[in-house]
Structure 1
Amino acid sequence: MANNHFHTRNPMCMDCRLHFLFNNPHARLPGPHPERFPYVILRRFLVLLPVLLAAGIAHASADRDGLRALRIAAPEAPAIDGVLDEAVWQRAPRYDEFHKHVPRDGQPVPTGLRTTVQLLVDDGALVFGIRAWDPAPELRRGQLARRDKVALDQDFIGIWIDPAGHGRSAQFVRINTLGVVSDGMHRADDDESDLGPDFPVETAVRILPDGYSMEVRWPLSNLRFPYADGRNWRMMVERSVPHAGGALLVTAPFRIDALSHLSFLQEIAGMDATVETVRDRGFVELRPELTVRSERAATPGQRLRGQQAELGLEINARPRADWVFNATINPDFSQVEIDEPLSQGASNVALSLPEKRGFFLESADVLGLPLPAFYSRTVNDPEYGLRATWRGAHMDATAMSLRDEPGGLVLRGRPYETLEYAQTRRTMASLARARWHQEGLLLGAFVSQRDYHRFGSNEVLGVDAQWRGETDGGVQHQLSGVAMASRTTAGFTEDDLPAQVEERSGGYLWGKYLHKTARWWHEAEVEAIAPGFVNDNGFVPQAGIARITGSMNRILGPQSLGSLELYEFETYLIVHEMRTLADATTGQRGGETVERKLRPGVWMAAPLQTGLWVELGFDRQRAGPGGRLHDTRVVNFGVETTPAPWISKIALEAALGRQLDVDADRVGPGGNVILDVGLRFPLRRGWSLELDHHVNRAWVQGTLGQPAFSDTAWRWLAMLHFSSRDSLRLLAQNTWAARRDDGVTQLEAWNDRQVHRSLLYRYQWRVGRTVSLGIVDDKLPLVDERNRSLTFKLQWEV
């Protein structure tokens, strides 16, 4: 599968603020800060996804067995110290057939990079033993970093496991040579990864003169599989060797046209007896947490102080393999641990924060719904919640209900804007979901409710389906669809107060077709959202619109550009049209073009883990109902590279040309530019310094020689790692936004500035056992407002 499409089809996706302003200018929240949308989460998914796609698009040859597990008794389990010296490792079968997936330069696996994998299994865990040889160990790249920041610029071992064996989801961990872990869940339905889940794996690495060895213990209590009639477990192991031309080696041969690499994970032999032995074992996890916070707020003429101590508890119970029950009581919402903060009113903009609450991450593979159907961050501050999940060989289901405290946001979409209301009362958020799946086919249904009690409710009923198949010649096809119907009696008055309103119904339809061969990749997507459709448990920033998007990608393979050898080269064309649907309630006319795009482009991959794309945007956009359809032609381009061992990433994305100023309903020269630079430096005593720099600027020029609108942000993060368990983080962020006289519209001028500073120390004994102490200082200098807080948090899993 070509690894560029998530860059070329979503230019500027690395920063949600600019993506929303210029690639979808009408679906915005009021005010100058569109970064409040959850595209940060999607961006994290998209930045990592190309690596995951390339890492395992393949399956083993039919005449070769995959990895075989050795069943052992509990007393034989090796100590997790990274040294493969126990006698049991001498008995375990070795697997050593690795294939190069990145870069796609047509060259074989570099000489000397042999890798072997062994697997032990007892009643409590899977234990992996990996031996990695390296002819140039002095060039090994392994430094301390944040959790979930293990990437291709580091030497690492990755393990992917599909315990259900149906190829629809997999849990994965990546461990670099200093023991830093990235982990998460990958779903084949949308071929995306979620880095939210943290698995309690125990790891150890031993550095050797000719490479390294690693041991990984993965508890069975955190692997989800059916009770009976399940398929064989499947897995894949990957190894990253950045000094060998950025090589990524995996235990599966390569297929460029695969729809999802999870379909080609290899079966693990020797697991049958283990599943039968452990499927009746019960596991219970209790995770209490204590949060103590002291806050000070200052506004003109007023000073406020407050202290609070809160206890929270998460309970995870698995009475047997196919059932999991979860409960959460007062989980903490703490911005001090967020790497990309929102300076003011953090609890009111939870929609844009990454989901790290364990209650929502459990069973995410079963839920598997797109954002318009369900988005967990709409539950801002749950007082309590209950959830149950069941997994069968061909069916699965999950149901949850939570009580949400006041303080969140309620969004209601319109064709040209997103209305924002404060949630001032307690609500109940509930969802039930069931799926049936066979080889290549999935059918699902769900029902959702947001209960505002005496102020009405919002109910949604939905169905979804996906089919995958392969026709003559190896052509891959995928067809997906979602249909929903809503009924809403919860609304708001003209004063933005909650109120029960006259019942209104609406529908939602979405479909996507994917066609892939070794040389072509085509996509077609349609979406229609009725004016009356509302889903307060999902994310629907626009309603009353219909859109169609298509793309054609020609995969040309390795090419030469003068003296530069390109590993991959692709050309593509994107077409997009969005129009309004008629709405008698608001008087919106139907058939009005909101935006139109025609974007030809190219993408290429080069040495030094470099990707480059350029596209021409022949775009047209409308700012509001009845307005002019403006010509907004732009040039989009981007580059990402890792040119040196101490540079983890340099990424630049830009859109330059005619930009639409939505509030002024005019077009002017402008653009947006995003620059990200990541640096890592080894220090004495085994410490490491991690530096991340981010700058973005969006602007539309006026007629008086100055920007009529500008929005600028700068963020600097310094992370001092003392070990893989503890670190000190300093975070500084400034944002500026302003409107000035454009010489035409005479809109009121305004300025907004926010300043954020925070310092956080965090120590983690293991997953589920952490302590942190953080200081946050937020300021609005132009209105003389300031908020400071000191937060202590202890989490201890038992």
Structure 2
Amino acid sequence: MRRPVLAALFSLFICTRAFALDIARLTAAPVIDGALDDAAWSNVPVAASWYDFDPGDNVAPPVRTEARVAIDGANLYVAFRCFDPHPGEIRAPFSARDAIASDVDYAGIFVDSHGDGRSAQFFLGNARGVQRDGIRNDATGDETIDPDFLWDAAARIDAEGWTLELRIPLASLRYSSDAPRWRVLLVRNWTRGQRHRIASTPIPRGSSCIVCHADVVGGLELPRAAHVTAVPYVAASREGGRMKSEAGGDLQYAPTPNVIVDATLNPDFSQVESDTPEVSANQRFAIFYPEKRPLFLEGLQLFDTPLPVVSTRTITSPRWGARVTRTSDRGGFTLLVAQDRGGGTVIIPGRLSSSFAPQAFRSLDWIARGSSNFGSVKLGAVATDREVSGGGNNRVVGADVQWTRRDVDVVTAELLGSRSKTPVRPDLAAEWDGRTPSGTAANVIWKHATARWDWYDQYIGFSDGFRADHGFVPQVGFHELYTNTGYTVRPRGFLNNIRFYVTTDYEADPEGDVIYHVDTTGADMLGAHNSMFRARFAAGELRAGSKTIRRNQLLFIAQASPSKRWTLVGAEGSIGQQIDFDAERRGTGAAIHYYAAIQPLDRLEVALDGNLNWAGRNGEGRFFTAQTERLRTTWAFDVRSSLRAIVQNERTVRAATPDAAGRDGSLTASLLFQYRLTYATGLFIGAGDSRVLDPANAAWRARDRSLFVKVSYGVGR
């Protein structure tokens, strides 16, 4: 029997739709004010065919929508008329850029400027003109809002509903040919008692892709002029009584629309919001945090390797960096080099747990990633290199292949190898004694999805010596088999989507001893008020140190958007038997993540995010209690300026050491005013205070206080 990948080389199935959306060429540019009364729109064809694809099965939407798409020599323009029978119920909060939730009224466009149906940039605006942009990657099913593009949006609410205008510079798109074929998808989100996702083209239920169903357009006659953007910045800060000033900047040069050269000198990330806290106590492996820094976000989808061997947050404090990226309908390539001053941490992976070592060294870092498309087959390669100042290195190379059969099956395979020489710093990590570990990693995935049945099967294997210092690989020395099979029904009523499923996850070391084995059965449910529920019973065993311990748990999710003002409330986690990994014992307890958000006014949002983990045993009390809370309050003056306050608390109590030494914690607070004319031009003024729990007297001790001001200004031509 032929293997699927080999068969794909001959069949080359790919989703293609006929030309269905007209993009008019303008001779005069419209004013972007949200009014839609500009004469430039009068001769632009109206896209009036719309489909409710969720929860409906491409049925007529409950509300009417009209859209127009046009282009000139510099910009792509989109206009929406979103009719609403009850304009007073439109959910249109003021918020920061990208902070458009799924319970808000919004509309926008997905643009696949390479026309390969694999990924797309998206540009969304709510009924206040708040912007949300990013990249949709059909290969992974992810939508990331990390990249920020240069574009404009304006909106108005009136007696018929609301209107939205978008102006997207062609320089913000990455097209590659003189006569390109794009894929374009128009979308609208309408949420009242039930959320409705509406699109300009049918999207089949159970489809494994969205971009592949977008309308194909061509004959756009796009310019190919080069452009340059420079973003210098100056910043001043006061930390611990010391004044510090910095200057730096970013430079971007595009010799053609699909080739981007980036350079940065002393990049500053002081305006980046702190990470949402995660409970790290009683965790076996390191916790992943996403990239938020602008330097690494060009062509971000290229870094989506099947195994996460590229995580640019491992480059902690670059002194300088440079990057070249090229994308087209046939694939893409990116090469990144940076000099890192260090100061962060390095993950030391293991079979049962990971640890950390201080990144007390400078390094020269290289990351290269490329991919090529051959119809329904995508081939990729990756290489990373970290050269440590004073001796030491880590080098990873690998290749991957992905085959897609229509929008039903996706098969992915990857093989990697690594060779390393650790620094001679046994004072920082026991294995850093100059040794030279090497190893391999492999990954195979088969995803199948239809309107009713779906499954996800995966094999992962890491040898003990594999290291990926530029990635997120906290565990090595294991083989894992995972399978998840589900069946979906769509009843009428409060719940409109219920997926029943069973899973098996089996993980063993190279000697065949079980590390982790769990079987689960459960159901995921979607319903009115943007609600989601999960109930799943999990039974299995896992290794804690020298012991293998059985564990039974109930895993759950319950969340909803109850109203226009109470926009989110929810909790998720596990209840039942919990394992204290440090003491290698089992107890009962819970691990709960809870969250809520309210919008008392259209300009004010208050959001709470917290975690509570505990485990204990009758007659012995609690083994440990770990908690985090994060309260964020944001006042939006308008769509460009806001004031944000964050208070964050983390603490852990271990019963094994009931005195003060068994307690630790931290308390941080920050205040930030930001004005962002564009993603590149802005003013940031902030203050922060950080305290730690002193174990000697269980009191808070000041750790750090800071003030900063930053001004950046983007110029380009």
Question: Where on the TM-score scale, by shorter chain, does this alignment land: which range?
Answer: over 0.9
Shift in alpha-carbon separation, 1:660–1:342, aligned structure 2, 3 A: closer
1:151 is displaced (CA, Å) by 2.0
Equivalent residue, structure 1, for 2:374 = 438
* AA in 2 matched with 1:252: T
Tell whether 2:165 aligns with 1:250. Answer: no
1:64-100 C-alpha deviation (Å, 9 max, x unpaired): x422111123xx1011111222222111111111111
1:220 aligns to 2:220 (yes or no): no
The CA distance in 2 between the partners of 1:521 and 1:749, in whole Å, is 50
Aligned 8 A contact 1:702 1:741 in 2 = no
Contact 2:272 2:293 in 1 (8 A): no
Cα deviation 1:708-729 (Å, max 9, x = unaligned): 1110111111111111111111
**Per-residue deviation, 1:102:** 2.6
The answer (yes or no) to whether the contact 1:695–1:715 under 8 Å persists in 2 is yes
C-alpha separation in 2, matches of 1:350 and 1:766: 35
Cα deviations by residue, 1:428-484 (Å, 9 ceiling, x for unpaired): 1102222110221100112210101431211111101100114xxxx8211101111
Aligned amino acid, residue 451 of structure 1: E
Give 1:341 deviation, angstroms. 6.2
SS in structure 2 of the partner of residue 656 of structure 1: strand
CA drift of 1:170 comes to: 0.5
Q: How does 1:97-108 map to 2 (within 5 A)?
A: 97-104=49-56, 108=60
The match for 2:341 among 396, 405, 430 is: 405
Write the letter of the residue equivalent to 2:604: L
Displacement of 1:372 after TM fit? 2.7
Q: Tell me the secondary structure at the aligned position of residue 114 of structure 2.
A: coil
8 Å CA contact 2:367–2:385 kept in 1: the answer is: yes
2:434 aligns with: 501
Render the CA deviation track for 1:142-181: whole Å, top value 9, x for unaligned: 0112222212211111211100000121101221111111
Provide structure 2 residue ranges, at least 5 long, that are not aligned to the other structure: 1-13, 696-700
For the residues of structure 2 that align with 1:93 and 1:79, how far apart are their CA atoms? Answer: 18
| Residue 649 of structure 1, aligned match among 568, 575, 579 | 568
Relative to the length of structure 1, the TM-score reads 0.83
Query: Which range is displaced more, 516-525 or 696-705?
Result: 696-705
The match for 1:601 is: 522
Alpha-carbon displacement from aligned partner over 1:115-139 (angstroms, at most 9, x marks no partner)? 1111121111101111111121121
Q: Which amino acid in 2 is paired with 1:697? A: L
TM superposition shift of 1:368: 2.9
Alignment partner, residue 3 of structure 2: none
Choose from 632, 636, 654 the match for 2:555: 636
Letter in 2 for 1:606: G
Classify 1:318/1:636 alpha carbon distance in 2 versus 1 (closer, same or farther; 3 Å). Answer: same
Superposed CA RMSD in Å reads 2.4
Bigger CA drift: 775-784 or 409-418? 775-784
Contact map agreement 1:410 1:536 (CA 8 A) in 2 = yes
- Other-structure match for 2:358: 422
Task: Name the amino acid aligned to 2:364.
Answer: M
- Which SS does the other structure have where 2:524 is aligned? strand
What residue identity is the alignment partner of 2:213?
F
Q: Compared with structure 1, are the counterparts of its residues 759 and 72 closer, same or farther at alpha carbon in structure 2 (3 Å cutoff)?
A: same
Relative to 1, partners in 2 of residues 1:502 and 1:674: Cα closer, same or farther, differing over 3 Å? closer
Deviation string, structure 1 residues 667-718 (Cα, Å, up to 9, x no partner): 0011111211111122xxxx61101012320011145453111101111111
How far the C-alpha of 1:342 sits from its partner, in A, is 8.9
Matched, 1:664 2:599: no
Asked whether 1:522 is paired with 2:455, we answer yes
Match of 2:508 among 554, 567, 579: 579
Q: Residues 159-170 of structure 1: matches in 2 within 5 Å? A: 159-170=109-120
Q: 1:627-776, aligned counterparts within 5 Å?
A: 627-682=546-601, 688-741=603-656, 750-776=662-688
Corresponding residue for residue 302 of structure 1: none
In the other structure, the counterpart of 1:613 is: 534
Aligned position for 1:290:
234
CA distance in 1, matches of 2:471, 2:228: 30
Equivalent-residue separation in structure 2 for 1:639 and 1:160 (angstroms) = 30
1:259 equivalent in alignment to 2:197: no
Equivalent positions of 1:334-413 (< 5 A) are: 334=270, 337-338=273-274, 340=276, 353-370=289-306, 372-413=308-349
| Structure 2 Cα separation of the partners of residues 689 and 520 of structure 1 | 43
Q: 1:486 aligns with which of 405, 411, 418?
A: 418
| Conservation of the 8 A alpha-carbon contact between 2:286 and 2:474 | no
Residue matched to 1:77: 29
The correspondence for 1:311, drawn from 223, 240, 247, is 247
The whole-number CA distance in structure 2 between the counterparts of 1:600 and 1:69 is 48
- The structure 2 residue matched to 1:476, chosen from 408, 419, 427, is 408
Identity %: 27
Does residue 796 of the first structure (1) align with residue 713 of the second (2)? Answer: yes
**Cα distance in 2, alignment partners of residues 367 and 228 from structure 1:** 27
Structure 1 residue aligned with 2:80: 130
- Name the structure 2 match of 1:782: 694
Aligned equivalents of 1:566, 1:762: Cα separation in 2: 41
Compared with structure 1, are the counterparts of its residues 499 and 243 closer, same or farther at alpha carbon in structure 2 (3 Å cutoff)?
closer
How many positions carry a matched residue from both structures?
Answer: 692
The one-character-per-residue Cα deviations of 1:603-650 (angstroms, maximum 9, x if unpaired) are 2222211111100010211112xx221111001111111111111111
Report if aligned partners of 1:350, 1:378 keep a CA contact under 8 Å in 2: no
The change in CA–CA distance for 1:635 and 1:492 in structure 2 (over 3 A counts) is farther
Contact 2:288–2:472 (8 Å) recurs in 1: no
Report the CA distance between 1:574 and its aligned residue: 1.0
CA contact 2:192–2:529 (8 Å) conserved in 1: no
Contact map agreement 2:608 2:631 (CA 8 A) in 1: yes
Q: 2: CA distance between counterparts of 1:263 and 1:768? A: 31
Q: Please identify, of 666-675 and 101-110, the stretch whose mean Cα deviation from structure 2 is larger.
A: 101-110
Alpha-carbon distance in 2 for matches of 1:781, 1:424? 25
Q: SS of 2:93's equivalent?
A: coil
The CA deviation at 1:101 is 2.1
TM-score under structure 2 length normalisation: 0.92
1:357: Cα distance to partner? 2.1
* Superposition deviation, residue 371 in structure 1: 5.5
Q: 1:469 to 1:652 in 2, by over 3 A?
A: same
Cα displacement string for residues 523-559 of structure 1 (whole angstroms, at most 9, x for unaligned residues): 1011101100011111110111111110000112226
TM-aligned CA distance change 1:218 to 1:770, over 3 Å:
same
The change in CA–CA distance for 1:343 and 1:152 in structure 2 (over 3 A counts) is closer
Q: Distance in 1 between matches of 2:553 and 2:659?
A: 25
- Aligned to 2:487, the other structure's residue is in SS state strand
Q: Distance in 2 between matches of 1:448 and 1:68?
A: 44
* Maintained 8 Å contact 1:551/1:572: yes
Cα deviation for residue 395 of structure 1 reads 3.4
String of CA shifts for 1:723-762, please: whole Å, max 9, x gaps: 11111111111111011139xxx99961002111111111
Q: Distance in 2 between matches of 1:339 and 1:532?
A: 31
Residue in 2 that maps onto 1:45: none
Change in CA separation of 1:492 and 1:417 when aligned onto 2, cut-off 3 Å: farther
1:335 touches 1:341 (CA, 8 Å); kept in 2? no
